[in-house]
A and B are shown apart, each in its own frame.
Chain A
Amino acid sequence: MTAGSIGAMLDEWYPVGIFAQLGPAGRKTRLMGEPIEVAADGNGGASVTDSTGRALPVRVRYGHVWTSLGAPKKELFAIPEADQPGRRFVDVGVVRVRCSPLRAVENFLDIAHFPFVHTDILGAEPHTEVQAYKVEIREDVDEVWATQVEFYQPQAAKSASGGITTQYMYRVAAPTSTVLYKTCPPRPSEWDVITLFVQPLDEDLCDVWPWMALFDDDTPMTDLIHFQQTIFLQDRSILENQVPRLLPLDPGMEMPTRADLTSVAYRRWLKRHNYTYGAQLVAQ
């Protein structure tokens, strides 16, 4: 397979652990092939070191520890909702997936699979049509955004009782981090925030750390975790069977449809920035 290199993704931020679960003993893991160790630093923060003992940049944000193998040119992306009072923050827990980290993000951006993979939760036959929506690469923030997305969902959230038409906005904030804004059933003027933070271990292996910031005062925390784990584990078995394993950035044999606009924009944005770790550059 023709693989990309770390390239421009070296200087980006990646999640490497749940902050609340860190102990001083540290957690050995890997970032883009490089062994690293993540530990509590004893002062209420976290430290990350590579195999030579070099201290890597660290941020503790959105329930997770973030680091970079390079020298980040930008601060970790902002999620203003993370500071909004009244929200509950949910560390959903790591799930390992044998797929390209870029494919994990791309699948999260896809709406058309809801009725078939998340049957009777996020979608149901025969409500399979994806209505027209807007996609743009926002030059000022350098992010991919999809807006005005609507989909009929039998059980859009743990807090939803019965089917509703759900509004969505999708945002790619970093090559392997994506944020979803979605109708909040108990508080219609706000958006629920559901993220997928992806830690690239290798080009075809990743640890996925979903995280949520929700308005929902009633549902027990464990039920919130299990709702999101259910959704993501339904995706996992699909992701592990995608061919080719790497995300193709050369259109080649693929025929995108209107429903794939977000995916097309994401791939174009990756290509433009040389974000190619986990990508297949030439159609096979």
Chain B
Amino acid sequence: MMKLYDYILSPSCYKVRLMAALTGVTLDLRAVDFHPGLEHRGPELLALNPAGSIPILADGDLLLTESSAMLVHLAAEAAPDWLAGDTPREAARIQQWLSFSGRLTGSLGGARLHEMLLRPGDIGALQAQGIAALRELELGLVEQGERGQRFLAADRPTVADIACFPYVALAPDGGVPLDPYPAIRLWSRRLRSLPGFIEMPGIHRLHDLKPEPQYEASEG
């Protein structure tokens, strides 16, 4: 079984948990005391990942420390539909958004760590870079809509969507509201209603998608 060094509040770790849940893969989760214990900077985890970041995914002799690579690995193993396939353009778009997701981590993720867990950073600059990235994503989704495609790189969800979704959905945690981005909000809703979707703190379940409460059914 693949082993994920995981932190429940980390959007990057959540990408991997979400991808696994959506593709039916069970992970062996090893909780890392990122906050307040800073365990990711301790000797055991630095030996696995000198960069001192989480998540870390171990699958036999394969050790991955980049979340986009983990998404690709999970998809390749369990759900090739989530990878590039249909056209060269689609494959390029997936790569574009996978790389782009690093900008979300650096900006919105940094703002969130600053505003929530008191990590150092220039909050004004982080938020401004985050807003610039959100505007780019909004535009990308609008253009996809004009091509008749509901997700970032195709008309089906791909690893690109999962790479970008968590830091975007959690932008308000870092003081960046999502109200100005209707295409992003619809896209978020589409992702949250996928079968097998799991939430994390700050990303709430869509209550209106749950089955009707039983008492209403029996009274009807």
Contacts and interface: CB of A to CB of B under 8 A. Distances in A.
**Do A and B come together as binding partners?**
yes
B201 A229 contact: yes
Contact of B175 (A91, A98, A230): A98
B173 A126 contact: no
A240 interface: yes
A225 interface: yes
Contact of B202 (A21, A207, A234): A234
A236 B173 contact: yes
B31 interface: yes
B117 interface: yes
B172 A207 contact: no
A222 B202 contact: no
Contacts of B9: 226, 229-230, 233
Contacts of B27: none
Interface in A121-166: 125-126
Contacts of B210: 125
Contacts of B207: 116, 119, 125
A168 to B, nearest CB: 21
Contact of B118 (A94, A126, A237): A94
B66 interface: no
B37 interface: yes
Nearest to A234: B201
A221 to B, nearest CB: 7
B35 A237 contact: no
A1 interface: no
B118 A226 contact: no
A220 interface: yes
Nearest to A119: B205
Contact of B173 (A94, A225, A237): A237
Given A234-B201, A237-B202, A222 B115 contact: no
A206 to B, nearest CB: 12
Given A21-B36, A126-B214, A226 B202 contact: no
Contacts of A222: 31-33, 37, 39
6 contacts: A95-B116, A223-B31, A226-B8, A230-B9, A232-B201, A236-B201
Interface of B: 7-9, 31-33, 35-37, 39, 115-118, 172-173, 175, 201-202, 204-205, 207, 210, 213-215
Interface of A: 18, 21, 91-96, 98, 116-117, 119, 125-126, 207, 220-223, 225-226, 229-234, 236-237, 240
